[in-house]
Amino acid sequence: MSNVVNFSDYRNKLTVDSAKAMRDESTNAMRDGLIPIEFALGINDREQCLDKITQYEVRSIHVRMVNDEPGALLYLIGVSEAIWINKKILQTENISEKEVEQRIDLIQMMENMNFTQMDSLWESFSNKNEG
């Protein structure tokens, strides 16, 4: 099982119910399929991705270590969360027409992904970072 970075752990004390809900969301994300955060947001810079994820209060990122590359990590997010955050960006941010088109294309691509194939791809070159 991969480690999950829960941003809300750093903001508020969790109740038992909210902790259970977060575990359920994490399980759903893994069942849903995971993709790199850079791809999910269409942003090449990992720090910008993390800032955007924090801004929209996405609760979990799955961190995996790349095989044979000490210190190289993949930051993955559930596809449904990635689609959700892109829709929120479209609804709330003042972005260019070109970026609107790119986000719509990105959403459509994620909606049509083969999740089993994507998970197999990540497993082929990454270790699950055990905690």
Read off the pLDDT of residues 27-72 as tens digits, 9 standing for 90 and up.
Answer: 454 456 888 999 999 999 999 999 999 999 887 888 888 877 777 8
CA dihedral 64, 29, 106, 85 (to 10 degrees): -100
Q: Is residue 12 part of a domain?
A: no
Structure pTM? 0.65
The residues with which 128 forms a beta bridge, in sequence order, are 64
- Please give the residue that has the higher pLDDT: either 31 or 95: 95
- Please give the residue that has the higher pLDDT: either 54 or 23: 54
Q: Is residue 65 part of a domain?
A: yes
**Could you give the number of structural domains in the chain?**
1
Q: Is residue 21 part of a domain?
A: no
Q: Is residue 71 part of a domain?
A: yes
Per-residue pLDDT at 120 exceeds 70: no
pLDDT value of residue 33 = 80
Domain with 79 in it? 32-125
User: 33: closest CA among 73, 94, 82, 71?
Assistant: 82
- Which two three-digit tokens encode residue 103? 């986000």
